[in-house]
């Protein structure tokens, strides 16, 4: 970007901060035209007097008014330490505005008028202003979101006079297709590292595509409304030049994807003109219609991906030495001595840096690293960039957990929690060492009805608008890309995040740890969103050698079963055992499993064959004779008349419960799940499966 545009972005942010009666300095002098442009942007997006100095309270939670959560008064506190999750609270806290002003002034005074300087400025503002309330009638919009939105609008405004009804903007979106297959179509050897590396590579690929497009448009990250999960929304100026650049750039990206990955990856895009009024949902429903228009255009492009010329060129390519399949991704390509294509070989090398390195440079003039469109590559730079030729660096990304790096870079929140186990085999072995079956667990989870929440979740709060979308998107990104690390680390779960971002996640670990952390995540998400949003999940339990592609497919089916349960907010495991989270925790684990464990651990230690027999009879209750057989087997456990009273009491509780549960279809289902969990918890590798579903 030119210095003039960067100067205007910073000045517009500062202007909004000063409106909030926070004493910050003007970073430089603006001419009258620039001042008027900022004033116009405020009027267009807010349409009222934005100054309410002295009346601000704490930032209210955006979830207070989402999906019918009306009348709540929960606030978002600043975390006490960086690792804390800032759950909504009903307690107001004070802010030291003098110290805040000093920190922002230091940020302003130390800023350089460069692209990277603007990104650094925005990141510092986000750190400082995320938990400070804004200055409009929306108490759940942070001062950061307001400042960033005004800067975005300023970047889109033409020089001539305009009104709030003019279609000054383009709501633009990109969406990756083929992500799931790209990540999960691998073999099992070194799968854990490969999964992490492939998902992280796609994250960097998407972010770099966004940054390259913004660079060509002479815009900045202030124009990004949301990015994550292979999807993004940008607000751009509605000009012929913008449309021309968008079309040419997206075509070039898909040409590169076709040349590099055949037809496995594709980026669909769409855009629609919009005004400030429609961004504020005036008239009612117009804001939702913007997203519908964009979604339709993306769907149309995905249905007609390639031109006739591209298809002919693709089918006419002459293979050089593409006679073998890559042993990892199964693509036909040139292979190295280990049977890997160039991409998979580079990903394997890249995977070693994911956990321990913090900086990743996009460079030109190199064959190292992983490919990006436009002849660029992304390389790991360790924990500084000294090893990289500065003349080749286009931009630098870093894990945002790194503080005060002093290196010009853009921070990315990354869900990167990992236990000490480096392989799936080690995770399964840890389970065996704990006396459990030697298996791994895989969790796939996704937010329920998120599209509906964005489209119509704010109806009771006068409908959605661009500010609420930005605020909600950022809060969700924080949970899945940052707070998720705390959820797992607080109890030191034996698991590794392979992917977490957007609104979904994929986690692998020791199987029982995965079940426990799934409940942790569900509870944390419910608390974080005040129950306005829920998660549905599928958990598979597998041998560590089981193909990753099948694991991904099967857990996706289980997740889908959860989403088809009435009300969603559910978990599915053992292929088709689906429960709402509270039912699973309270009735499967807290009731059925607890009764089984109490009796068999303390009173009557029976072999696995006895539990298998019980399970068989429960499964076949359609045959009336099996009820009598079940009762008979339970009766044979009755202790003798000379047994201690506590043993007799324990049997009475156990038998009464079992004979009651067998009569109810729902209780029988819960009991079967509880028995399978108990068997898995008390059976080591040498035990036979004897028909228990895995």
pLDDT digits (tens, 9 = 90+) for 218-236: 999 999 999 988 999 999 9
% of the chain surpassing 70 pLDDT? 93
For residue 58, the 8-state DSSP code is P
Backbone angles phi, psi at 530, to 5 degrees: 55, 30
**Which residue from 323, 500, 292 is spatially nearest to 416, judged by alpha carbons?**
500
Distance (Å, whole) CA 394 – CA 637: 73
Mean pLDDT (whole number) for 73-80: 81
Higher local confidence (pLDDT), 601 or 294: 294
Distance (Å, whole) CA 333 – CA 371: 15
How close are the terminal C-alpha atoms of the chain, in Å? 56
pLDDT at 98 > cutoff 80:
yes
Q: Calculate the CA dihedral of residues 480, 141, 285, 172 and round it to 10 degrees.
A: -60
Identify the weakest region by mean pLDDT among 107-116, 155-164, 325-334. 325-334
pLDDT at 690 > cutoff 60:
no
Paired sense of beta strands 231-237 and 169-177, if any: antiparallel
Distance (Å, whole) CA 28 – CA 109: 10
- Tally of CA atoms within 13 A in the half-sphere of 77 that contains its CB: 15
**Residue 320 pLDDT class (50, 70, 90 cuts):** low
For residue 341, the 8-state DSSP code is B
For the chain, give the mean pLDDT. 89
Mean pLDDT (whole number) for 356-364: 90
Distance (Å, whole) CA 156 – CA 151: 9
Measure CA 474 to chain center: 11
**Residue 589 pLDDT class (50, 70, 90 cuts):** very high
**Which residue from 102, 118, 351, 117 is spatially nearest to 223, judged by alpha carbons?**
118
Mean pLDDT (whole number) for 253-262: 91
**Residue 242 pLDDT class (50, 70, 90 cuts):** very high
Identify the weakest region by mean pLDDT among 44-58, 389-403, 447-461. 44-58
pLDDT at 460 > cutoff 80:
no
pLDDT, position 693: 41
pLDDT, position 604: 66
pLDDT, position 407: 75
Distance (Å, whole) CA 563 – CA 578: 10
Q: Where are the domains of the chain?
A: 3-156, 424-573, 584-681
CB distance 109 to 25 below 8 Å? yes
Which residue's structure tokens are 């506590």? 646
pLDDT at 244 > cutoff 90:
yes
Helix (H, G, I), strand (E, B) or coil at 583: helix
Based on its alpha-carbon atoms, the radius of gyration of the chain, rounded to whole angstroms, reads 28
Helix (H, G, I), strand (E, B) or coil at 241: helix
pLDDT at 84 > cutoff 90:
no
CB distance 135 to 57 below 8 Å? no
Please list the alpha-helical segments (H only) found in 333-394. Answer: 342-351
pLDDT at 550 > cutoff 90:
yes
Taking each helix axis from N to C end, the angle separating 32-46 and 143-156, rounded to the nearest 10 degrees, works out to 120
Taking each helix axis from N to C end, the angle separating 625-635 and 645-661, rounded to the nearest 10 degrees, works out to 170
pLDDT tens for 110-134 read 788 888 889 889 999 998 999 888 8
pLDDT, position 593: 95
**Residue 459 pLDDT class (50, 70, 90 cuts):** confident
Distance (Å, whole) CA 228 – CA 501: 6
Measure CA 276 to chain center: 29
% of the chain surpassing 90 pLDDT? 58
Distance (Å, whole) CA 376 – CA 394: 9
pLDDT, position 323: 62
pLDDT, position 136: 62
CB distance 169 to 43 below 8 Å? no
Helix (H, G, I), strand (E, B) or coil at 86: coil
pLDDT, position 692: 41
Q: Which run of H or of E encompasses 378?
A: strand 376-380
Q: What residues are paired with 510 via a beta bridge?
A: 440
Distance (Å, whole) CA 60 – CA 92: 9
Mean pLDDT (whole number) for 51-78: 78
pLDDT, position 365: 81
- What is the SS3 string spanning 556-624? HHHHHHHHHCCCCCEEEECCCEEEEHHHHHHHHHHHHHHHHHHHHHHCCCCCHHHHHHHHHHHHCCCCC
Tokens of 607: 């072999």
Q: What residues are paired with 324 via a beta bridge?
A: 333
Angle value at C-alpha 244, between 243 and 248, nearest 5 degrees:
115
21: left (phi over 0), alpha (psi -120 to 50) or beta: left
Chosen CATH of 424-573 out of 3.20.190.10, 3.30.70.270, 3.40.50.880, 3.40.50.300: 3.30.70.270
pLDDT, position 691: 38
Q: Which residues contact 67 (CB under 8 A, 6 or more apart)?
A: 453, 457, 532, 533
Tokens of 173: 């979106």
Distance (Å, whole) CA 259 – CA 105: 48
Taking each helix axis from N to C end, the angle separating 342-351 and 191-216, rounded to the nearest 10 degrees, works out to 100
Q: What residues are paired with 500 via a beta bridge?
A: 505
Please list the alpha-helical segments (H only) found in 434-479. Answer: 450-456, 466-478
pLDDT, position 83: 62
CB distance 115 to 220 below 8 Å? yes
pLDDT, position 220: 94
Please list the alpha-helical segments (H only) found in 51-178. Answer: 97-109, 115-129, 143-156
Distance (Å, whole) CA 544 – CA 378: 31
Paired sense of beta strands 440-447 and 410-412, if any: unpaired
Q: What residues are paired with 236 via a beta bridge?
A: 170
**Residue 684 pLDDT class (50, 70, 90 cuts):** low
Paired sense of beta strands 410-412 and 393-399, if any: parallel
pLDDT at 321 > cutoff 70:
no
Higher local confidence (pLDDT), 502 or 657: 657
pLDDT at 170 > cutoff 90:
yes
Measured CA to CA in angstroms, residue 220 lies from 224, 505, 552, 663 at distances of 8, 28, 36, 64
pLDDT at 685 > cutoff 50:
no
pLDDT tens for 367-418 read 888 999 999 999 998 888 888 888 899 999 998 877 666 678 889 999 999 9
Identify the weakest region by mean pLDDT among 179-183, 293-297, 584-588. 179-183
Which residue's structure tokens are 């049997």? 651
pLDDT at 56 > cutoff 80:
no
pLDDT, position 114: 87
What's the length of the chain?
694
């Amino acid at each position: 970007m030119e210095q003039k545009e960067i100067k205007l972005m910073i000045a517009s942010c500062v202007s909004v901060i000063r409106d909030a009666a926070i004493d910050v300095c003007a970073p430089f002098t603006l001419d009258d035209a620039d001042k008027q442009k900022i004033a116009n942007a405020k009027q267009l997006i807010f349409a009222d007097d934005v100054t309410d100095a002295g009346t601000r309270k704490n930032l209210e939670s955006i979830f207070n008014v989402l999906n019918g959560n009306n009348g709540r008064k929960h606030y978002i506190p600043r975390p006490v330490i960086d690792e804390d999750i800032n759950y909504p609270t009903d307690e107001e806290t004070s802010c030291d505005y003098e110290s805040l002003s000093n920190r922002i002034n230091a940020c302003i005074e130390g800023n350089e008028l460069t692209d990277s300087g603007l990104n650094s400025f925005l990141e510092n503002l986000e750190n400082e202003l995320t938990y400070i309330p804004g200055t409009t009638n929306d108490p759940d919009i942070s001062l950061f979101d307001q400042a960033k939105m005004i800067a975005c609008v300023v970047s889109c405004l033409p020089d001539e006079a305009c009104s709030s009804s003019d279609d000054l903007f383009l709501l633009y979106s990109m969406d990756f297709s083929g992500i799931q297959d790209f990540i999960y179509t691998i073999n099992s050897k070194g799968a854990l590292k490969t999964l992490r590396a492939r998902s992280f590579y796609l994250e960097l690929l998407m972010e770099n595509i966004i940054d390259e497009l913004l660079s060509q448009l002479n815009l900045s990250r202030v124009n990004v409304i949301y990015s994550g999960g292979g999807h993004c929304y940008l607000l751009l100026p509605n000009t012929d030049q913008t449309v021309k650049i968008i079309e040419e750039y997206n075509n070039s990206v898909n040409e590169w994807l076709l040349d590099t990955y055949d037809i496995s990856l594709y980026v669909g895009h769409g855009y629609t003109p919009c005004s400030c009024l429609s961004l504020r949902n005036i008239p009612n429903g117009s804001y939702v219609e913007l997203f519908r228009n964009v979604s339709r255009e993306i769907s149309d492009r995905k249905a007609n991906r390639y031109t006739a010329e591209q298809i002919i060129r693709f089918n006419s390519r002459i293979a050089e030495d593409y006679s073998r399949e890559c042993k990892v991704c199964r693509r036909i390509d040139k292979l190295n001595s280990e049977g890997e294509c160039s991409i998979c070989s580079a990903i394997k090398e890249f995977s070693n840096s994911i956990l321990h390195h913090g900086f990743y440079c996009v460079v030109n003039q190199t064959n190292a690293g992983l490919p990006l469109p436009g002849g660029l590559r992304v390389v790991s730079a360790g924990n500084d960039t000294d090893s990289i030729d500065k003349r080749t660096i286009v931009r630098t990304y870093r894990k945002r957990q790194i503080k005060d790096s002093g290196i010009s870079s853009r921070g990315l929140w990354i869900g990167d929690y990992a236990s000490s186990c480096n392989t799936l085999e080690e995770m399964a072995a840890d389970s065996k060492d704990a006396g459990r079956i030697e298996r791994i667990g895989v969790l796939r989870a996704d937010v329920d009805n998120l599209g509906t929440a964005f489209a119509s979740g704010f109806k009771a709060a006068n409908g959605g608008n661009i500010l609420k979308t930005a605020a909600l998107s950022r809060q969700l990104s924080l949970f899945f890309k940052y707070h998720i690390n705390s959820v797992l680390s607080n109890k030191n779960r034996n698991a590794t995040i392979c992917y977490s971002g957007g609104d979904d996640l994929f986690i692998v670990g020791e199987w029982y740890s995965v079940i426990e952390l799934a409940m942790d995540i569900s509870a944390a998400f419910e608390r974080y969103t005040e129950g306005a949003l829920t998660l549905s999940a599928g958990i598979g339990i597998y041998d560590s050698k089981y193909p990753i592609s099948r694991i991904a497919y099967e857990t996706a089916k289980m997740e889908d079963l959860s989403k088809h349960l009435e009300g969603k907010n559910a978990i599915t495991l053992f292929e088709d055992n689906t429960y709402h989270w509270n039912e699973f925790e309270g009735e499967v684990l807290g009731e059925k499993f607890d009764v089984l464990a109490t009796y068999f651990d303390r009173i009557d230690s029976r072999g696995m064959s006895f539990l298998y027999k019980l399970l068989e009879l429960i499964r076949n209750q359609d045959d009336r004779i099996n009820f009598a057989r079940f009762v008979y087997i339970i009766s044979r456990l009755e202790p003798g008349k000379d047994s201690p009273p506590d043993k007799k009491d324990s049997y009475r509780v156990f038998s009464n419960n079992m004979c009651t549960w067998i009569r109810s279809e729902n209780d029988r289902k819960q009991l079967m799940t509880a028995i399978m969990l108990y068997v898995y918890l008390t059976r080591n590798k040498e035990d036979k499966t004897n028909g228990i579903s895995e």
